[in-house]
Amino acid sequence: MNYFKTAILLAGMTGLLMVVGFLIGGQAGALIALVIAAAINLFSYWNSDKLVLSMHGAQQVDEHTAPELVGIVRTLAERAGLPMPRVFLMDNPQPNAFATGRNPRNAAVAVTAGLLNTLNREEVAGVVAHELAHIKNHDTLIMTITATIAGAISMLAQFGMFFGGGNRENNGLGLIGTLLMVFLAPIAAMIVQMAISRTREYVADNLGARISGQPMALASALAKISDRAHVVENETAERNPASAHMFIVNPLSGMRMDNLFSTHPATANRIAALEQVAAEMGMGSYGRSAASAQRYAPNSAWGNRARRGGPWG
């Protein structure tokens, strides 16, 4: 059902792009709109990962520079049946993470220093599993496409103002029609983009919980990240708000409601959904089996060397 909803929303986004193009230049305008979108998407397909990683100052790490983090990613990638993605660390105090890349073989997982300083080992694994779920579901490509189409719609709407708002075959839109197109088309595109983002987050939470085997560790991580995101500013994300939808939790505002303009579902709703996953997996209120519960101290800190040898490497 979530895949069907995503397909419908993508179709709606493409249709909106064509409508804006048609209103500007008739059939030729609609065709030009598609060509522009195709060109932008082609560029994004090959370069989006490099651009966003560079934008957020992410530095690639390996077994020598971040052995525990890379070990977690490797173990969970194997469990998910994915190639080992590149691993990046962002020198940012806000706990957060995102995945990027055009396909699983060219994927990357990036986490902030704040994430590693805030979460325990199980919670970090839950976040990584969530990002691997995005990679497995090709969400990184889907969200790149929606973001670029939304950008193309905004660009074309602005062109509509300069071209007088309409084609002669249709007697034009007129001043009021032009103003409505310039302001409403980008808003409509943003609403669709955010709806797709929220849909994919729920799916990634579900699959990520199953990959890690610890749904409530992910739920705990979401609660901690959401709380910290309210008080710790992500300056890079604030300067580049178009990348906000990529993060596991909204790095900008931490909205609490699933409203039309929220890039992410409400954290409480995501935790409730993860509680259902935990129940399906036969886990208790802490989302752990009896055997797993004995492997970890409830508040074990990330990087606790005494915990070496656990299931995350």
Q: What angle do CA 69, 87, 139 make, to 5 degrees?
A: 115
User: Alpha-carbon distance 131 to 133, whole Å?
Assistant: 5
Active site residue 233: no
Instruction: Please give the C-alpha separations between residue 14 and each of 7, 45, 153, 214, in angstroms, as whole numbers.
Output: 11, 17, 9, 37
Reduce the DSSP state of residue 99 to 3 states and report it. Answer: strand
Order of strands across the sheet that contains 59-61: 59-61, 86-90, 108-112, 97-100
- Catalytic hit among 68, 123, 131, 201: 131
User: Alpha-carbon distance 254 to 251, whole Å?
Assistant: 7
Nearest to 53 by CA among 138, 131, 111: 111
Catalytic residues: 131
